[in-house]
Structure 1
Amino acid sequence: MTRSDFSRQSLTTLPNVLTYLRMATIPIIIVLLSPPASVKSLNVAFVLFILASITDYLDGILARRHNLVTSFGKLIDPLADKLLTSAVLIMLIALNKVQPWLVFLIIGREITITGLRSVAAGHGLILNASRMGKNKMISQTVALSLLLLAIPDLQPFLDGLGLFVLWVSVLLSYWSAMGYFVSFYHEAKKQEQQRD
């Protein structure tokens, strides 16, 4: 990252401000989901999570459309996503909506792929988000939204459907993880051949 990536103008672009707002919802959501969470607090957390997820969609569009893509934005945007989803997943454990080992599978995968991308970047290789990775993110957002939504008469249905979609996102996440490792292997091999 260059010095210009940390200029005031770069740090305060609209896409980055939306990312900061997304991160600001995390402590509020954690407080709302602290047990014993009421129906009202679950639904407020649900609305905040939906709004935060919309900012994730919007900041990417705005950055590309108005040529506001920065190295800092590329770093902070996925970090904000991972922090938000991890916070919600961990709080759902305390509410007995998901099992701890399932949350470990999801967060463990995210840490592994973040590490792989960092290693790749250190060697000048860029591993762009795959279509499968984006599908994983969409299914994860839908799953967490369903698990947060509190409608007492429909709760067993919402929780069951939420868990089913969460499992779909886990399968997609490990499938996309394999794609990242294969891509890293091919890119590293290509770079090695160019040096020879």
Structure 2
Amino acid sequence: MWTLPNLLTLSRIVAVPLLIGFLWWPSWAAGYGIAFVLYCLMGITDYFDGYLARAQGAVSKLGIFLDPIADKIMVAAVVLMLVATRDIAGWSLVAGMIILLREIAVSGLREFLAQLQVSVPVSKLAKWKTTLQLVSLGGLILAGALPHWHWVQTVSLAALWGAAVLTLVTGWDYLRVGLKHMD
């Protein structure tokens, strides 16, 4: 249970309040810089927990359960914080809402299907969606650290919209599978 992959996953969850703390003051560029480094470390642990679990034959039920939760907690907390600091504002709020709503809906759907003993594997497109979400949010954090580099925020917001589109597509894919198992 307390394997290195599971500890890496737990470290991402534990690091979220620290990450949010560094993002708390939008005019503190150094805080955003520290948050960006922490966010990148959290992303690296996301890669390595799965890699190590498979390489060491240490895939566990706890890890399978916690990994997507850690991702969702991190994404939701960062989206909410970037909305609060107005780094995500205007029409881009819609992209943030799409991402949050889909994550909640798919989590509920997975829970429902688990009761029916139906497993829904993560698709390659869903992995790309997660990657684009993480890159776009990381870019928005970096934009706060480099406020004079306006292009970083522009590119990151475009990536956020790309992630929102993939979020809708993959959400629909999961819903289609789920509907087959509903009365």
TM-score by length of 2: 0.92
**CA-CA distance at 1:37 after TM superposition:** 4.1
CA contact (8 A) 2:3 2:58 kept: yes
Q: How does 1:18-33 map to 2 (within 5 A)?
A: 18-33=8-23
Question: 2:28 is matched by which residue type in structure 1?
Answer: S
Question: 1:120 is matched by which residue type in structure 2?
Answer: L
Question: 2:57 is matched by which residue type in structure 1?
Answer: N
3-state DSSP class of the match of 2:66? Answer: helix
Matched residue, 2:75: 85
Distance change in 2, residues 1:36/1:167 (3 Å):
closer
CA contact (8 A) 1:32 1:45 kept: yes
CA contact (8 A) 1:23 1:80 kept: yes
TM-score by length of 1: 0.86
CA contact (8 A) 1:22 1:80 kept: yes
Matched residue, 1:71: 61
- The alignment's C-alpha RMSD in Å is 1.6
Q: What CA distance in whole angstroms lies between the structure 1 residues aligned with 2:26 and 2:159?
A: 25
Distance change in 2, residues 1:141/1:36 (3 Å):
closer
**CA-CA distance at 1:117 after TM superposition:** 0.6
- Deviation per CA, 1:45-103: give whole Å up to 9, x if none: 00100100110111111111211111111111110111111111111112211134432
1:96 to 2:96 alignment: no
Q: 1:116 aligns with which of 100, 109, 112?
A: 109
Q: How does 1:1-196 map to 2 (within 5 A)?
A: 10=1, 12-99=2-89, 100-149=93-142, 150-154=145-149, 156-186=150-180, 188=181
- Deviation per CA, 1:107-140: give whole Å up to 9, x if none: 1110000000111110010011111110000101
Higher relative contact order (CA 8 A, sep 6+): 2
Q: What CA distance in whole angstroms lies between the structure 2 residues aligned with 1:162 and 1:109?
A: 20
Question: 2:119 is matched by which residue type in structure 1?
Answer: I
Structure 1 residues not aligned, in runs of 5+: 1-9
Structure possessing the higher radius of gyration over alpha carbons: 1
What percent identity do the matched residue pairs reach? 34
CA contact (8 A) 1:19 1:77 kept: yes
CA contact (8 A) 1:132 1:173 kept: no
Q: What CA distance in whole angstroms lies between the structure 1 residues aligned with 2:19 and 2:57?
A: 32
Structure 2 residues not aligned, in runs of 5+: none
